[in-house]
Structure 1
Amino acid sequence: MKYLGNKKSGKDPQYRNIIESYEITRKRNINIHWYMLGFFVVLLILYLFTLNLQRVEDVTVINLDTRQSVHRRTSTRYLSYGLDTSLLRDMKTLPINDKRFVMLAHHLSPAYVRVGGTSADCLFFDETPSSSADKIFDPINGEDISNFTITHKDFLALSRFARKSGARMIFDLNVLLRRPDGSWNYSDAEKIIPLARAHNIELDWQLGNEPNSFHHVFNRTVTATQLASDYTDLRKLLDDNGYESSNLIGPEVNHIGDANHKGELYGAEFLKHANTSVTYFSWHQYYLNGHIATVEDFINRTVFDYLANQINSLSNFIRGYHIRVWLSETSSAWGSGAPNLSDRFVAGFLWLDKLGYSAWAGIDVVTRQSFFGGHYALVAHDLTPNPDWWVSVIYKQFVSERVLDPPILDSKALRLYWHCTAKSALINRVPAITQYGVHLDNKPMKVAIRMINPAPLKSITLHLYVLTADHLQSRFIKMNNQTLMLRPDGKLPPFNPIILDPDEKIELPPHSMYFLIYHGMQIPACEV
């Protein structure tokens, strides 16, 4: 537009109008740009304000169908515990005659107490084994795998402990006693079983521990087919000695879910030949290597999913045998647990989630390794309860064997489960349901319950029990901000709830576990 630069243009009205029109248009465009920019700035401020408000008021909604039926039933001894056979190497240090020890176990009744483990296949009865005095150690875990002996007095002491603590003993016999032809030498069993019968001891039995790993631990091999034959021999021996009704649990395999599926293949081959000799199929499960596990592993959501993958893998191999499944030895980490982790508050997340998921997935019994001994013990050497003992006791108090379907959640931080409430926790025998779970995030969470086919809300009262600690590796656990401690006489303290209305939001602190009982909930599946 060269004419705009013409000196005469300012005197010519035509050119002056063009210039004025141009300036007006330019200013109008500038104003429009500023208005647009201001508008978008206001929108951005409103968006950020709304986003911040949503974060503060973010609520996870849980749908509860009050007309659902029972999904599964577990054993009434679902949560059980083990005493590792290695503890029998020095019976003097095993406090089974201490009243405090017995009471700690009794708080977990009814339960099975499994006396088993690697050392079960080193155990001889009432004789001195013919072996060198040198100690032999497991090349993998460094565990003592030397042969040793227990006496009939030791066996009877174990049975007395089980009876006084309200538990039913499971005794794991030595399967590595072999004849020259490779079959099981049951001469020790022929001593132990009649002894138990003579003292009217009611108990159940196992034969061997993790037989699919014998090659790595003992440099020996017992095939699945041979083990099935051995179980058939044991079943006949039990039947002939008055133990027709005793359970026989096996084959105690491990390494379920490995890439080569050796544990599943061994277990399926065992069932193929065991016929009806075995009552329950059993396997072992751990999440982590106790020698290298970190505190972050214990709250890593990927680690939590290991169990589901293992159960699914096992189910695919044994589905056709229609046999109930036990998780007969399990904890957070193998190798006797992770020091300062497996016996601390942080271990409770994996433990409570395992109890919930296993019950929903059809596991009949979950046996915690261990009640005493190792870094994963429920009870410390000074006979004080560790946090997982408290989690287990609270579970026993509030959760029944009737399992309901949990809701599908969008939140990855919250894992929860539903059961009918244990009879001991009911108020005036009015039905109730128990929701329990773990909150894995390091920030608070609000939860709201939306009932499908609801009962009258006025009849429902919520009792909330939130479990926290001062830090993840604490040896102490709090319920509703009060540290849990036994009374001086060893009895349980009162578990005092936070009482809520059914339409109130539930506030969960960072890194917390919780139990929530809906008292007065009219759900047919949970009618007494």
Structure 2
Amino acid sequence: MLRTMLWAAVILVVCVRGCFNAAPGPAAGVQVRADLDRAAREVDPRFLSVAVDASLVAEEKFMYMLGSPKLRTLARALTPSYLRFGGTQQDFMVFNMEKVFTQSHGYDDPQKPEDSCEKMELPPLLEERLKKQWTQQQVLLRKEDLQRKYRRVKFTEYSVDLLNSFANCTEMDLIFGLNALLRTSDNTWNSSNARSLIRYCESKQYRISWELGNEPNSYEKKAGIRVDGSQLGEDFVQLREILRKSKLYHDTGLYGPDISQPRDHRKDLLQGFLSTGSEAIDACTWHHYYVDGRTATLAEFISPEVLDSLGAKISEVLESIRLVSPGMKTWLGESSTAYGGGADGLSNAFVAGFMWLDKLGLSAKMGLDIVIRQVLIGSGTYHLVDDNLDPLPDYWLSVLHKRVVGPVVLTVDILPAPDHQNQTKKVRVYLHCANRNGGYSKGAVTLIAMNLGARPSRLSLPAELSLSTVEAFVLQSDQPGEEGLYSRSVMLNGKLLQMLDDRTLPELKGHIVPPADHLILPGFSLAFYVFTEAQAAACL
């Protein structure tokens, strides 16, 4: 504890005196170039969205964790956002209405319209008990996933009620993932169970968008069932027809096919799906992870080459979609650092922020409309909150992104200083108009910057930015050096970030920096620099 406090004090001094405009000392240099006159593109205001993993419903009592006041407080700070309920478990879920859970857990009936968000909150003693049991449950889910032996799980209307309450009380837009592995004898989708669920949601007037299936390219491994792309597209057409006949859902969102990174037959699956099902969907979704969670290393998490691999995948997907369905909106429907549930000690540590922030920057730059983070809560190790529902570093990074980054994307790149050619790869930058909803005026811009190396970097600014006051938000580990990359705590401008209580986030204040021609980006840091007086024409 003493070591953490001493390091926090050191960081505060370093940041105030050297992380911004102070003398650069030994910092390597890069030159920032930006086009402030033209917008490159614009993403959805819900660009950064989150998922609740369907693994919660493997035992329905864990859905009650969505009533946690702490979790709801944390989620509310991430709006506007989609809330995706899905994942591997969704294709083994069967809806089964029965009235058993409310009475046995001591809740009032959550179906009553007069129920308020406060009335649906999880009692503290039950929350503590469920959190302890959830830790044990995750071990069982991990074993099931490794063995690829999945059991069919029944969920009742109470899971749907709790999920809807969570979405409503956090002001998120719910997307529900339906089971696509319910098949008929001729291998078409059996929609009868989905129809029952949709009828129930319609009777409750729940505002929901829909998906059908999760990673259909893996159905054969998970369930011994193979579904080709054209059949999958026809399944979506069937679902769209069901929704069109609904008074409530006739124009609701439908997204898919949620395939894994397209390669080999996955490309054929995507193109086959689009050839028959593109008219049924509102956005084409695919999933991306950088590395295998079972073998991932620290070096991979801060490797420029690994981060660059996402750009190639985005290009492949966008080209496949352009050939069949030009103009189709494209989402990362599920995404995080490492597949297989994440890499423990890395995906839930400070170092994960480099992959996450770069993914957000690159996805917006290349034309993706939404990125859904796996996961806010659920099984695995790539959470935004830990098993005690305390926020991890990527949570704070996400909240800051929400507050200071707007949807308008600008063009920016960097050039190395003549004597620091290698530094360019380790420093990565993106540029947006600042978020007007965050209180920033027209013309303000936000520079997203990260330093993958241990040495600080001197960012030389273009003239149009050097004349503006800067509000700096610099995130660093609470521990020095490479060891700090493994930390599960993070500091903002030298101050440790933690909730004040279960219902209150700390004030996330930037450090005001006077106009200057450069900034100093510390080693192993993530930063948002808001140029409040940039007067960027593209942001006016």
Distance 2:58 2:27 in 1: 57
Q: Which one of 322, 329, 339 corresponds to residue 334 of structure 1?
A: 339
Mark the structure with the bigger radius of gyration. 1
Q: Which amino acid aligns with 2:451?
A: H
Match of 2:505 in 1: 492
Distance 2:86 2:170 in 1: 18
**TM-score between both structures, scaled by the size of structure 1:** 0.83
Percent of counterpart pairs with the same letter? 32
Q: Do the aligned residues in 2 keep the contact of 1:116 with 1:209 (CA within 8 Å)?
A: yes
Is 1:403–2:418 an aligned residue pair?
A: no
Match of 1:119 in 2: 89
Distance 1:370 1:55 in 2: 40
Cα deviation code 1:181-220 (max 9, x no counterpart): 2211111111111111111111110111111121122111
Match of 1:50 in 2: none
Q: Do the aligned residues in 1 keep the contact of 2:444 with 2:535 (CA within 8 Å)?
A: yes
Distance 2:27 2:357 in 1: 28
Distance 2:457 2:377 in 1: 35
Q: Which residues of 2 match residues 446-525 of structure 1 at below 5 A?
A: 446-451=458-463, 454=464, 457=467, 460-469=468-477, 470=479, 471-488=484-501, 490-525=503-538
Match of 2:77 in 1: 107
Q: Do the aligned residues in 2 keep the contact of 1:346 with 1:473 (CA within 8 Å)?
A: yes
Distance 2:261 2:517 in 1: 45
Q: Which amino acid aligns with 1:93?
A: F
Displacement of 1:56 after TM fit? Answer: 3.2
CA spacing shift, 1:522–1:252, aligned 2, 3 Å:
same
Q: Which one of 194, 205, 228 corresponds to residue 200 of structure 1?
A: 205
Q: Which residues of 2 match residues 122-271 of structure 1 at below 5 A?
A: 122-126=92-96, 141-142=146-147, 145-242=150-247, 243-256=249-262, 258=263, 260=264, 262-271=265-274
Cα deviation code 1:14-49 (max 9, x no counterpart): xxxxxxxxxxxxxxxxxxxxxxxxxxxxxxxxxxxx
Is 1:294–2:320 an aligned residue pair?
A: no
Q: Which one of 303, 310, 315 corresponds to residue 312 of structure 1?
A: 315
**TM-score between both structures, scaled by the size of structure 2:** 0.82
Match of 1:5 in 2: none
Cα deviation code 1:247-305 (max 9, x no counterpart): 1101111132x3x2x22221111001114111110000000111111111110111101
CA spacing shift, 1:122–1:112, aligned 2, 3 Å:
same
Displacement of 1:58 after TM fit? Answer: 4.2
Match of 1:56 in 2: 26
Distance 2:57 2:82 in 1: 18
Q: Do the aligned residues in 1 keep the contact of 2:175 with 2:211 (CA within 8 Å)?
A: yes
Displacement of 1:420 after TM fit? Answer: 0.5
After superposing on structure 2, the runs of 4+ consecutive aligned residues of structure 1 that deviate more than 3 Å are: 53-58, 135-144
Q: Do the aligned residues in 2 keep the contact of 1:138 with 1:218 (CA within 8 Å)?
A: no
Q: Which amino acid aligns with 1:101?
A: L
SS of 1:406's equivalent in the other structure is strand
Distance 1:443 1:456 in 2: 23
Q: Do the aligned residues in 2 keep the contact of 1:138 with 1:145 (CA within 8 Å)?
A: no
Distance 2:188 2:279 in 1: 19
Match of 1:47 in 2: none
Cα deviation code 1:462-509 (max 9, x no counterpart): 111111011001010011111111222532222232222332421111
SS of 1:185's equivalent in the other structure is coil
Is 1:441–2:453 an aligned residue pair?
A: yes
Distance 1:448 1:505 in 2: 4
Distance 2:270 2:458 in 1: 44
Distance 1:455 1:301 in 2: 26
Q: Which has the higher contact order (CA 8 A, sep 6+)?
A: 2
Match of 2:104 in 1: none
Q: Which blocks of at least 5 consecutive residues in structure 2 are unaligned?
A: 1-22, 99-139, 417-423
Distance 1:136 1:390 in 2: 27
Q: Do the aligned residues in 2 keep the contact of 1:137 with 1:146 (CA within 8 Å)?
A: no
CA spacing shift, 1:139–1:102, aligned 2, 3 Å:
closer
- May I ask how many residue pairs the two structures share in their alignment? 460
Q: Do the aligned residues in 1 keep the contact of 2:208 with 2:252 (CA within 8 Å)?
A: yes
Displacement of 1:409 after TM fit? Answer: 3.4
SS of 2:210's equivalent in the other structure is strand
Distance 1:379 1:58 in 2: 35
